[in-house]
Structure 1
């Protein structure tokens, strides 16, 4: 009999890594709760998580959840009532699916699912990817049977009662990253290649700067750009910009809304450097494959987590940090030029860091997290079995 698990949360990359591992174990039936649409008001644009999860033929249930308010407003007064309605909806979904465990990868989207699971006595396993956990995971951690963490430093941010339940698993890494293929995209004229990304949802600020500096950069570099799909219509603007370029420069620029799982490994393998945000998944993935980077931390990230994560690689000498507030087209191209001038230095440092225990432990994080789920479900079944035996005792004696 297959074990049923339900996965939810806002961080899709580690969720994919776990799905890949559970699928190999064959005795799991997986369901996913997330956002079907990239924007609640735009029903014509499906989200990256929906496109990716359904590509595994995994049942996907749409659930829009309110963000935790950061300041008092009229919406703040409505928040408890909206959240309660979402918890009720999540409870109905859980009663129908009847999972043996709920696995949450954080974010506000997971809140009603985690709370509903706790109310229904379904064990919850949470995973925190960042060094400094966000508000949602700090609050929801009290409902978790196990709190899996990617960094030992994360433990201190949780309540003392939760710290005892923290398990250092590392951050699950997708198969495509852990075992890079030999296939790669063709690089025109064998020029130096830059992979620019703002994460799966893209970055409007980074896209703006790239748009302004694109012709100059393409004279020196081949650029692969993942820009996301936003209401700013950055993709359409970049496509229009590409169309206006001379034919020799046009060949130097590849732009995508999203990068598929099959593409990402070969792109990272091909790129000499990466330019992008410093989310937890990005930091660990480029550290594992020893890729020098220019990191632009998201200023609005909770507890300045992206800056803290970028600092890790900068201190190891494998990355340069660019502050978004001072990021200009000239600053970007100058930083890229300077990194390429010292590329060997950054590559050596990146390779040294990749072989440390701090980074190499993440290679097996997917298996350790799956083992925790095995133990949790097995333990729950034993508890149910013991309870049934206890309940049936008096009847058998009568």
Structure 2
């Protein structure tokens, strides 16, 4: 039996790419186990798949001063020792990493065990975790062709972003029934990433009266961000997070409001649905979502509203204009030559495992 270890975590985006590969890997007879952090979001998501899960110590390596910077390198070292022992016991033919800081000790431990590694970089410029992992990897998959210039040409492969097949197979009517929505009004789905976005939540809720005149709204607001005062509001449903119902919600949606994480925007591209992107600001990130959003905007797929410009008024204007121009956005997306990333990544895993 061929064995593969998956890793990646810290946000849902570092896990969904792994989930997209599962059906293809299972069909090919791979036995899969997962290494993540003890209490990260990846543990909760992977628990629903039934895969064997192993938690290790994780340390975040920051680009800014923080007292934790003195302690976390030791946690990375501890996690590397733990991952090394786990891999010795599991004996996989390969490791696939979707990124995040939990992946760093796992990738290093795989290299020490002489286990081939394939990693995937979601964003247009490599994140710090993948920069650290790349020297230890056999192949580095990238979502955007522009990313190739930042990496070793002998390792880097443009694959695109792996999309979960079930995302494309939702039932719109089931989504409406789940939310209690009618067939009469178009539907907006707003989300701020797996952890939610206070700024998007506030701007959206400030416009509910105006938006609900023309739209129905399903709001994925993030853990701890429900507003009890809005429960029962006609045409508005709020959830901290949804999982199995997500494909149905995506199927019923006419317009997305979202952050610009690579996994999310490539799902919108695959669905060929209009979307308004509000990327994380440079003050709150390394600016990767801004680059992602600009790339999609340049290709005519997306409208972008930068977080620095986000107010209740600008959001309302952007929503109305994006919905009014959805035909142009969908036409541009229909011209996309998106590759079958799942197939390409699967083939790379097969290749390195044989070696």
TM-score over 0.5 for the pair: yes
Structural mapping, 1:94-133, within 5 Å = 94-133=87-126
Match of 1:91 in 2: 84
Structure 1 residue matching 2:163: 3-state secondary structure: coil
Using a 3 Å threshold, how does the CA distance of structure 1 residues 204 and 171 change in structure 2: closer, same or farther? same
Q: Hey, what's the Cα distance between the residues in 2 that align with 1:54 and 1:73?
A: 32
CA contact 1:195–1:274 (8 Å) conserved in 2: yes
Once the two structures are superposed, the pairs formed by residues 317-328 of structure 1 within 5 Å of their partners are: 317-328=300-311
TM-score, with structure 2 as normaliser: 0.90
Q: Is the 1:135–1:302 contact (alpha carbons within 8 Å) kept by the matching residues of 2?
A: no
Q: Cα distance 1:217–1:181, how it changes in 2: closer, same or farther (>3 A)?
A: closer
For residue 121 of structure 1, give the secondary structure of its aligned residue in structure 2: coil
The answer for the alignment partner of 1:347 in structure 2 is 327
CA RMSD in angstroms comes to 2.0
Match of 2:312 in 1: 329
C-alpha distance after superposition, 1:23-63 (max 9, x if no partner): 222x111111123535xxxxxxxx3x333322221011223
Encode CA deviations 1:54-108: one digit per residue, 9 max, x unaligned.
2221011223411112134443333332221121122122222221111111111
Contact preservation (8 Å) 2:300, 2:333: no
Aligned position for 1:4: 3
Other-structure match for 1:291: 273
**Cross-structure match for 1:280:** 262
**Where does structure 1 lack aligned partners over 5 or more consecutive residues?**
39-46, 380-398
Structure 2 unmatched ranges of 5 or more: none
CA shift digits 1:200-244 (9 cap, x unpaired): 222222122223333432233200111121xxx212xx2x1223x
- C-alpha deviation, 1:19, in angstroms: 1.4
**How far apart, CA to CA, are the structure 2 residues paired with 1:208 and 1:348?**
29
3-state secondary structure, aligned to 1:185: helix
1:251 corresponds to 2:234: yes
Give secondary structure in 1 for the equivalent of 2:287.
helix
Give the secondary-structure state (helix, strand or coil) at the position aligned to 2:114: coil
Whole-Å Cα distance in 1 between the matches of residues 159 and 153 of structure 2? 14
CA distance in 2, matches of 1:253, 1:73: 40
Distance 1:189 1:177, change over 3 A: closer
User: What is the match of residue 35 of structure 1?
Assistant: 37
3-state SS in 2 of match to 1:366: helix
Q: Does 1:70 align with 2:63?
A: yes
Displacement of 1:182: 5.8
Aligned to 1:154: 147
Query: Which is further off, 118-127 or 184-193?
Result: 184-193
CA contact (8 A) 2:171 2:252 kept: no
For 1:264, the equivalent position in structure 2 comes to: 246
1:356 aligns with 2:336: yes
Deviations 1:119-175 (A, max 9, x none): 1111111111111111111121000011112222111112xxx32111222211101
| 1:132/1:303 contact within 8 Å kept | no
The alpha-carbon deviation at position 3 of structure 1 amounts to 0.8
Determine if contact 2:61/2:73 at 8 Å carries over to the other structure: no
Shift of 1:314: 2.1
Structure 2 residue matching 1:191: 3-state secondary structure: coil
C-alpha displacement of 1:178: 3.8
Greater share of residues in helix: 1
Shift of 1:114: 0.8
| Partner secondary structure for residue 153 of structure 1 | helix
1:371 aligns with 2:347: yes
Mapped partners of 1:349, 1:63: distance in 2: 43
Of residues 183-192 and 130-139 in structure 1, the stretch that sits farther from structure 2 once superposed is 183-192
Give the whole-Å Cα distance in 2 for the aligned partners of 1:271 and 1:59. Answer: 34
The 5-angstrom pairing of residues 151-190 of structure 1 reads 151-158=144-151, 162-181=152-171, 183-186=173-176, 187-188=181-182, 190=184
C-alpha separation in 2, matches of 1:334 and 1:271: 19
- Equivalent pairs counted in the alignment come to 346
Q: Is the 8 A contact 1:195 1:223 kept in 2?
A: yes
